Structure 1
Amino acid sequence: MRHMSATQVARLVDVDPGARPYYRALADGVRALIMDGRLPVRVRMPAERHLAETLQVSRTTVTSAYDLLRERGYLESRQGSGSWTALPDAATTADNPWLATGDDGLVQLQCAAPAATSALRTAMTEAVEDLPRYAMGNGYDPLGLPVLRERIAAYHTAKGLATRPEQIVVTTGAQHAIHLVLGLLIGAGDPVLVESPTYPHAIDVARRRAARIVPVGISHEGWQTDLVIGAMRQSGARLAYLMPDFQNPTGALMDDATRAAIVAAARRADTMLLVDETWTELALDDVPRTSPMGAFDTDSRVISVGSASKLWWGGLRIGWVRTTAALARRLAVFRSSVDLASPVLEQLVVARLFDRLEETRAERRRTLRASRDALVSELREHLPEWTFSVPRGGGTLWVRLGGGGATPLAEAALTHGVRLAPGPWFGLEGALEGYLRLPYTQPPLALADVVTRLRAARDHGPTGSARPADPLIAMV
């Protein structure tokens, strides 16, 4: 492990002596050095006393800066061993942009979830009328209510993938479904292939299982089949987590030829495929018809995850897993360590909403397309140096910044009233700093206001102290 002297750090850190508070400016300067690679990871920092003497500031000032860097995940310390540079763990850092309550007055642009569909009110009324017939039981069904499992099975069958209710497990959201599948099927040291960028909470689950994460890069143009297959084969991946339908955050849509090739490669490599279909119903333009990845499966290695959150409303907290009947039963037993069952009323609501699937698709297509087009127009007019490809579905733009980093921009945006999701939270080891995910799940006028604030944050930086995040995980 290399060592940096106080003189070397002071020479690298360009901090205005008049900056207030100075400790925050010093911490920001060190963090910027780490993020752009000028201060490598795993370098031992000078002792607080020595750096304070070199900078001619109080030791308390440097101590406060080091404390802030540790809190953000950019320093690690051990008693008697000093402090060394690090990159933050997205699951634990205090300035993680997923940490938000939604009631702090900020525009919650870290969250790519639309408001409830207009069909929700009627479905809830009908579900309340259905509820008394279920109240005589104990309300616990680890697999899910039969009526909802039947609806979900019929939904998959209509998409060309014959499915029985016994193959469905109802979960408390898609994130819960991912947690159950990874928790059951992978263990410490198992290689798990993920897209980069990808859904951050899937990375979090794999990390908690102490899995060896194998990233394979994708872009808005999609997947390079040979790279995915090569990574799967060379790593010996036990499981691969993929999002082929309007991938979050890039918006890419996988064609049938690529789906078939990846499933065939998984068969040869003996890799299980966990396919996240959360965004599959949100096509905003006319797109080529694609088949579910399970349609190419001949040996039951494709497990799919679905959710009510993007199509109907995230507040319902209902998701599901489609797999074999045997694995569905194992998942139901395994979930007892997390919860016993999903709420009955919410399951009844979603069962009723499946009867309104077509009208909801049309509503989402109309509203999200208007918001997408408004955001695209505003960005092209006011931030033309930011580049992106317009996705044909989903709910997010994956934006390449024209300069500077996404993390400092996100911090500056906080003081302009916007909470952002910078690129590194969608990757590994601090990668993707030049990218920003911008959802278009809010109304057009709200997004126009957001772009105005983002331009101010880019041009002028912070206007004051950023508001701290409340330690609650927000759904994305």
Structure 2
Amino acid sequence: MTGIDRHISAPQLARLVQAGGGLTPAPGVKYRALAGAVRSLILEGRLAVRVRLPAERHLAEELGVSRTTVTSAYDRLREQGYLASRQGAGSWTELPDPQALGADSPWAADEDGGLIPMHAAAPMAPTSLAAAVDAAARDLPRHTLGIGYRPLGLEPLREAVAARYTERGAATRPEQILITTGAQQAMHLIVHLLTSPGDALLVESPTYPHVLDLARLRGARIVPVGIPPGGWHLDLLTCAMRQSAARLAYLIPDFQNPTGHLMEDAGRAELVAAARACGTTLIVDETWAETTLDEVPAVRPMAAFDTDGRVFSIGSAAKLWWGGLRIGWIRTTAAMVRRLSAFRAGVDIASPLLEQLVVARLFEDLPAGRAERRAALLASRAALTAALAAELPSWTYTLPRGGGSIWALLPAPAATPIAEAAVGHGVRLAPGPWFGVDGTLESYLRLPFTQPPQVITEAVRRVAAAQAGATAPRGSLPADLMTPVL
């Protein structure tokens, strides 16, 4: 038994195809147009999953095409994972495994224009997501007796996040957790609540690009501190903290984005002590903390070294599970959680309840989620390093032991022109200047390994072809390609 009890007739499917624009391809590739039309119907939800499609002969008659055209279209859909078949049972719609997608899949393409999104260190959804969504949907009615707003966050999720911090070495109560609509919102809330225009905000260089956008939006004075190839120079950070009288410092100690460095416990303790002496509050971005790939020293959250509530830890479901959930959190004192919650009332009041239920379910099997993500990232990292060795051997890097990207040093300061040229080859890249201040870091590119291996291999091949015509900085990327989705 296939478990398929729904079907769509040939006239019904033909109407859906025609309503979507019909079949108007170049000569000889009509089957591709038909496969693309059916694939779009599935992805847009107009053709449900696990619905049996009509026989090839009947659909060909309705569309006025040859049976060979329909057969070839069905074959292409099967190759791409959108169709499954069994002898005597026909063919039915499916969704492909995201980790098996090729570079020509719309799921592996940038929604802004069909480019392979090598600018975005954003992993595919895990296989456990569908079951977590189903379980959350069954749980939802139990949470619908009230008005639905939970400004502090859903209690089971706050408990799960707090328990994970405690397990990692920073004893935490649920009252110390505020659930946010992604880590990005967490950063906005902290920066806007705790700084005024003109205040100094210390950041690593390179750093997460959106924190630079946030600092500029707030009117903060950005104080960059360079990170050498071997990792942090703590004396440079502490001196900059003291000399700038930084109100806030934004740090990424867990597989730093984009370098991949991991800060050891001694460095964390030293920085917290320096922040205490300088009167600086630390925003610690831990969004990559659960993505250990190789054997690394055991480390505790930076909050484990905090004694006076100056460490704000930010986490997210995006890197371990999926960015589409848009669920993040802040760990701080219970009093500050209440202040932040009151402040966020003017932004969005509370995060979506169903998505919080989904993440709470995912936390229930955290080891399995970590294992699946690790396996996927290891395969993609191997594909990226192999492709770089074969196609771009002059690019050098330190292999990260976790996280989701390689910070590649180019043989010449040509990151922006290479990124410009790559667009013409169907790839969107993140050049080094995105991660720094005042046009610096032109000799670097961030290369994520969060796409499936086949996509990464093809992307590097295209980037290598693009590099031939890009040798010196010429300007900047087009405006619609400037903002990274990370």
Does 2:323 correspond to 1:314? Answer: yes
Contact kept, 8 Å, 2:420 with 2:477, in 1: the verdict is no
- The residue aligned with 1:357 is 366
Which residue of structure 1 aligns with residue 383 of structure 2?
374
Is 1:450 the counterpart of 2:447? The answer is: no
Report the CA distance shift for 1:336/1:473 in structure 2 as closer, same or farther (over 3 A): farther
Q: Is the 8 A contact 1:219 1:252 kept in 2?
A: no
What letter corresponds to residue 485 of structure 2 in structure 1?
M
Which residue does 1:123 correspond to in 2?
Answer: 132
Provide, for residues 304-353 of structure 1, a one-character-per-residue CA deviation record: whole Å limited to 9, x for no partner.
00000000000000000000011100100111221111000000000000
- Among 457, 473, 485, the residue aligned to 1:475: 485
Distance 1:325 1:467 in 2: 44
Q: Does 2:407 align with 1:398? A: yes
Which residue of the partner structure matches residue 435 of structure 1?
Answer: 444
CA distance in 2, matches of 1:473, 1:336: 27
Counterpart residue type for residue 255 of structure 2: F
Q: Are residues 1:325 and 2:334 paired?
A: yes
Other structure's SS at 1:460 match? coil
Asked if the contact 2:178–2:330 (Cα under 8 Å) also holds between the matched residues in 1, the reply is yes
- Identify the match of residue 175 of structure 2 among 166, 170, 173: 166
Structure 2: how far apart are the matches of 1:160 and 1:460?
Answer: 51
Q: 1:472 to 1:228 in 2, by over 3 A?
A: closer
Is 1:148 the equivalent of 2:165? no
* Within-5 A mapping of 1:10-49: none
Unaligned runs of 5+ in 1: 1-99
Larger CA deviation: 312-321 vs 330-339 = 330-339
Correspondence for 1:346 among 339, 343, 355? 355
Contact 1:101 1:472 in 2 (8 A): no
CA RMSD in angstroms comes to 1.8
- Decide whether aligned partners of structure 1 residues 467 and 205 sit closer, same or farther in structure 2, where only a CA change above 3 A counts: closer
**Equivalent in 90, 103, 115 of residue 106 of structure 1:** 115
- Offset of 1:461 from its aligned partner? 4.9
Q: Is the 8 A contact 1:395 1:439 kept in 2?
A: yes
Return structure 1 stretches of 4+ with deviation > 2 angstroms: 466-475
Tell me, in whole angstroms, the C-alpha distance in 1 between the residues paired with 2:276 and 2:251. Answer: 15
1:294-309 to structure 2, matched below 5 A, reads 294-309=303-318
Q: Post-superposition shift, 1:460?
A: 3.4
Structure 2 contact 414–470 (Cα < 8 Å) conserved: no
Alignment-derived partner of residue 222 in structure 1: 231
Identity, in percent, stands at 60
| Structure-1 separation of matches of 2:126 and 2:479 | 28
Change (3 A) 1:472 1:427: closer
Task: Report the equivalent of 2:197.
Answer: 188
Q: Counterpart amino acid of 1:176? A: Q
Check the 8 A contact 1:216/1:231 in 2, yes or no: yes
Counterpart Cα distance in 2 of 1:197 and 1:461: 23
Sort the Cα spacing of 1:114 and 1:334 in 2 relative to 1 into closer, same or farther, 3 A.
same
How much does 1:244 deviate? 0.1
**2:296 counterpart of 1:292:** no
Residues 101, 474 of structure 1: 8 Å contact kept:
no
Q: Partners of 1:360 and 1:288 in 2: how far apart?
A: 21
- CA contact 2:110–2:117 (8 Å) conserved in 1: no
Work out the CA distance in 1 between the residues paired with 2:382 and 2:228.
Answer: 20
Alpha carbons of 1:136 and 1:474: their partners in 2 closer, same or farther (altered >3 Å)?
A: farther
Q: Secondary structure at the match of 2:272?
A: helix
Q: In structure 2, what residue type is equivalent to 1:337?
A: G
Query: How far has the Cα of 1:219 moved from its partner?
Result: 3.2
1:174-253 aligned at under 5 Å gives the runs 174-253=183-262
SS in structure 2 opposite 1:221?
A: coil
8 A Cα contact 1:119 1:356, kept in partner:
no
Separation of aligned partners in 1, 2:152 and 2:132: 22
**2:346 corresponds to 1:337:** yes
- Give distance in 2, aligned partners of 1:374 and 1:215: 33
1:223, 1:243 → 2: CA distance? 11
1:101/1:443 CA distance change after superposition, 3 Å: closer
Q: How many aligned positions are there?
A: 374
SS in 1 for 2:365: helix
Give the Å deviation of 1:266: 0.5
Q: Unpaired runs of 5+ in structure 2?
A: 1-108
Supply the AA of the counterpart residue of 1:137.
G
C-alpha deviations, 1:341-398, integer Å up to 9, x for none? 1000000000000011101111111110111111111112211111111000000000
AA at the equivalent of 1:475: V
Describe the shift of the 1:473–1:385 C-alpha distance in structure 2 as closer, same or farther (beyond 3 A).
closer
Q: Deviations over 1:39-64 (max 9, x none)?
A: xxxxxxxxxxxxxxxxxxxxxxxxxx
Q: Would the alpha carbon gap of residues 290 and 301 (structure 1) be closer, same or farther in structure 2, given more than 3 Å must change?
A: same
- Between 377-386 and 244-253, the greater mean CA deviation after superposition: 377-386
Cα separation, 1, equivalents of 2:236 and 2:341: 35
The answer on whether the counterparts of 2:186 and 2:328 sit within 8 Å (CA) in structure 1 is yes
Query: Alpha-carbon deviations, 1:258-284, whole Å to 9, x = none?
Result: 111100000100110100000000010
